Amino acid sequence: MRIVYISNFQVQETEEQDIVFDNKLSIEQLPSVEKLGNSLFAIDVHCTFTHKGRQLKLQEQGGVIIYRNLLSQFKDCQDKLKVVFYSPISKEHLAALRPENYVLTLLPFVQCEYDGSFETKLKTEIQEYSFNKVPVFNNASENLLSGWSLFKADKNRKENDFVETQYKFRTPDEKPRKIRFIDDQINEWKKTYTEIFEPKSDLKFLEYKKSNTPLGKFDENKIDNLNNHVMQASLIVSDFYLEEKHESNNWLSSEQLTQKSGFQLYQKIKGTKDDEGIHKAVPYVMHTSSNKIQYYKFLDANGVDNWLVKDTRTDSTTQEKKENFYAFKKVIEEFTYENSSAMYGTLKKIWDRITELEEIKYNRESTWWYSPTEYTAEEIPVKNGVDKCKKATDENVDEIFGLFKDSWMAIRANMNRESLFAANIGSNDKSFTAAAVCSNLGKLFELFGFTQGMHLNTYFKYLFCVRNIGSHYKDYKHLELNDALIYFDCWLTAFERKELNVADVFKTMFSEEEFILQGKTHRVEDSFNYRLLFVYIQFINGFHLSEKTIAHKLINERIEELLRQSNKNVLCFEIETNFYDQTNNKKFIKLKSRADGREIDNFNRVASNWKTGGNNFKIITERDSRYYITNNA
C-alpha cells in the first residue's frame, strides 16, 4: 500500500512514501483514482491548498475540504478510498471547533504531538485500519452528517437533535417506527443514518445489488428478502437511480422516468392497477440526487409520499448543510414522529385487515355477513321486528371491498399534502373528506337491507348516526379524519365478528342498553349542533369497547377535542333543553323503558354534576368508567 501524504509541508521521503502532495499543487490536480491504485491518504487536518487559481485561508481544518474532493474523485468506488487524518489537536476538540467536520471523529485519526512519535503512531493506525471496520461515506452522506452536527450545535434549535422515530404521544409499549433504506450504495449511508437517528431507532439497510444478473436491468430479487422487509416496514426510503448513473444533464420525460429502476421498485412495492404489489399502505419516500422540479411533480402524481434531495456538492456552505439536514429530519418525522405518523400507522393496519377479510371469499369461510353462491342468500327477520336483513353473496361482496378500499384511498390521498393546499385556499377539506368517507362507508347498510327504523343495537345505531352526520350539512363540519378512522375501525371490527346469524349480530353485538341519541325527526333543523359529541359519549357509555381497538383511543381523544372546540353557550342550551330539563315537552331524545318499567335517565347518559349557569366545562369519568360532561366546579 502506498501512502500519499497531504500536508502544508514537504514530508521527508520514506520507503513507504510514493507520492507527496503539498500546498504547491491545486486541489484540481489531485491524482486520478486509476493512477493512485492501492493508496492510503495521510491528511494533515490543517493544510491549506490552492483552489481555482486563488489561495484559500483554510489553515484551520482545510484537510477535510481535500477529503471531500477525494470523495468526489472516488464517487464510483468509495470502498477504495482510505484516509487517515492527523493533527496535534484531538478529534473531539476539532469537531467542537467546526461541527461540520464531525466526520473526523469517525474516521481513522492520529493525534501527533511532534515529539518524534508520529511515524510510529501512524504505522500503528495503518495496521489497525485493516482489522477495523472503517465507515464509508460519499459526498451526499457526509454532507448530511455535517448538517446534523451543525444542527446539533445550534443553541437556538427547538427540536431534538436526532431524527426521531418514536411517535411523540408515546405509550410504554410503543415501539419505534421501522424504517427500511434501499440504495445501491447503502454501505456509504449506514454510518450517517446510524449517527443522525435517535439510538433506539429500528433501521434496516437493504442493498440493491446491481452487479447481480440481469446486468443493467431492474430486478426486485437484487434486494434480499424484499417482501419480508416491506411487510414489516413503517416507512421505505429508496434511491431513485439504483441501476443507472444519475443523468444530471438530461431532462427526462414522464415516460422515461417510469423506466428508472427506483420507480420500478416503487411500483413493485406499492402495486399498480394490474398488480397488487407487496403492500400498498407502506409510506414511501424517494431519496435522490436529482433536484429537477418536474421529477418531483411526476413522483407526486404517482403517489410517492415525499422526496428528499441528496446534496452531492463538495462546496456546500454550512448553512446549506444544516438546512439540508433539517429538511431530511422533518420529512422523515412526518412518518415516524409527528401527529401524521399515527395516521399512517393506523392506515397500514386497516389495509392489512381489509386484505385479511377479503381472503374469506376465497377460502369460503362462513361469516355473519357473507354466504358463498352455493348457499341461498336467505332473508333473516330481525327479532321482535318486522324488518328483514340478508347476507352478502358473491354477487355483491366485491362491492363491500370496493367501498372499503375506496374509502381507504380517500383518507390516504388526503394525507399526501392535499390538506395543506386546502388550508391555504380556505377550504374545510379535512371535514369534507372525512364526511365523504363516513357517508360512503354507511352505504354498507344498503347491502344488508337495513333501514333507520330497524331494531338495532347500540353499536349499529352509532354507525347509522355517524353516517347521517356525514350526510347533513349542519353536522359534517365537525368531522375530521380521525372520525373517519374511528368509523372505519368500527365497521371492520363488526365484519371481523365470527357469528353466523345476521340478526343476532345487529341485535346483540357489544350492547348493554339499546339507546342512542337521535333527533325528533329526520329533518336537519331537528339535529343537534353538537350531535357528534353527544353520540360519542352515548356510544362509549353504551357498551364496553375493547381497549385494543383503534376506535377506543381515538374516541377518547375526540370527545375531549370536541368539548374544547364547542361554543359553550350553545352546548349548554342543548344539554339543558334536551337532557337536563326533565319537564320540557320537546325532548329530542327517545326514552327507553327499563325492565322494571322505569325510564332511562337521559340526562345522566350525557351530563353529570350539572349546574345551571355554570361554565367550568370538562369531561369527567365516574366510578363506572363512563364519560359525562360537567359544568360544575
Question: 2-134 architecture in CATH?
Answer: 3-Layer(aba) Sandwich (3.40)
Determine which of 43-52, 81-90, 573-582 has the lowest per-residue pLDDT on average: 573-582
Give how far the C-alpha of residue 251 lies from the chain's centroid of Cα atoms, to the nearest Å.
31
Strand pairing report for 54-55 and 17-21: unpaired
Residues 6+ apart with CB under 8 A from 399: 392, 447
Give how far the C-alpha of residue 585 lies from the chain's centroid of Cα atoms, to the nearest Å.
51
Amino acid present at 363:
N
The pLDDT of 370-389, averaged and rounded, is: 52
- The answer to whether the beta carbons of residues 590 and 528 sit under 8 Å apart is no
What pLDDT score was predicted for residue 374?
A: 46
pLDDT tens figures, 480-519: 999 999 999 999 998 888 766 666 666 655 444 445 555 5
Cβ neighbour number for residue 109 with a 10 Å cutoff: 18
Helix (H, G, I), strand (E, B) or coil at 365: coil
What pLDDT score was predicted for residue 385?
A: 46
Determine which of 102-111, 337-346, 394-403, 409-418 has the lowest per-residue pLDDT on average: 409-418
The pTM assigned to this predicted structure is: 0.85
Helix (H, G, I), strand (E, B) or coil at 607: strand
The pLDDT of 107-126, averaged and rounded, is: 83
Nearest to 565 by CA among 435, 434, 466, 431: 431
| Whether the predicted pLDDT of 11 surpasses 70 | no
What pLDDT score was predicted for residue 150?
A: 97
Place of cell 464510483: 76
pLDDT tens figures, 303-313: 899 999 999 99
Domain 143-337: CATH class, spelled out: alpha beta
The pLDDT of 534-551, averaged and rounded, is: 82
Nearest to 65 by CA among 90, 47, 41: 47
| Whether the predicted pLDDT of 391 surpasses 60 | yes
The grid coordinates of residue 332 equal 422523515
Please tell me which of 160-169, 194-203, 241-250, 407-416 the model is most confident about, judged by mean pLDDT: 194-203
Q: Where are the alpha helices (DSSP H) in 477-549?
A: 481-495, 502-508, 531-542
Phi, psi of 555 (to 5 degrees): -65, -45
| Whether the predicted pLDDT of 446 surpasses 70 | yes
Find the length of the chain: 633
Residues 6+ apart with CB under 8 A from 110: 84, 85, 86, 118, 121, 122, 125
CA 45 – CA 43 distance, rounded (Å):
6
Higher-scoring residue by pLDDT: 473, 231: 231
- The answer to whether the beta carbons of residues 266 and 284 sit under 8 Å apart is yes
What pLDDT score was predicted for residue 32?
A: 61
Same fold, 2-134 and 143-337: yes
Strand pairing report for 388-390 and 379-381: antiparallel
| Whether the predicted pLDDT of 613 surpasses 80 | no
| Whether the predicted pLDDT of 278 surpasses 90 | yes
| Whether the predicted pLDDT of 554 surpasses 50 | yes
- Long-range contacts formed by 468-474: CB under 8 A, 24+ apart: 468/442, 468/522, 469/435, 469/438, 469/531, 469/532, 469/535, 470/434, 470/435, 470/436, 470/437, 470/438, 470/439, 470/442, 471/435, 471/439, 471/442, 472/524, 472/527, 473/524, 474/524, 474/527, 474/529
Strand pairing report for 54-55 and 109-111: unpaired
Helices 531-542, 458-471: axis angle to 10 degrees equals 170
DSSP 199-257: TT-EEEEEE--TTSSSTTS--GGGSTTHHHHHHH-SEEEE-S-SSSPP-TT----HHHH
Classify burial at 556, counting beta carbons within 10 Å of its beta carbon; exposed 0-12, middle 13-18, buried 19 or more. Answer: middle
Residues 6+ apart with CB under 8 A from 40: 1, 2, 3, 4, 82, 83, 84, 126, 129
3-state secondary structure 273-327: CCCCCCCCCCCEEEEECCCCHHHHHHHHHCCCCEEEECCCCCCCCHHHHHHHHHH
Cα dist from 580 to 572, 599, 604, whole Å:
10, 14, 8
pLDDT tens figures, 59-70: 578 889 889 988
Domain chopping of the chain, boundaries: 2-134, 143-337, 342-566, 568-633
What kind and span of H or E run contains 618?
strand 618-621
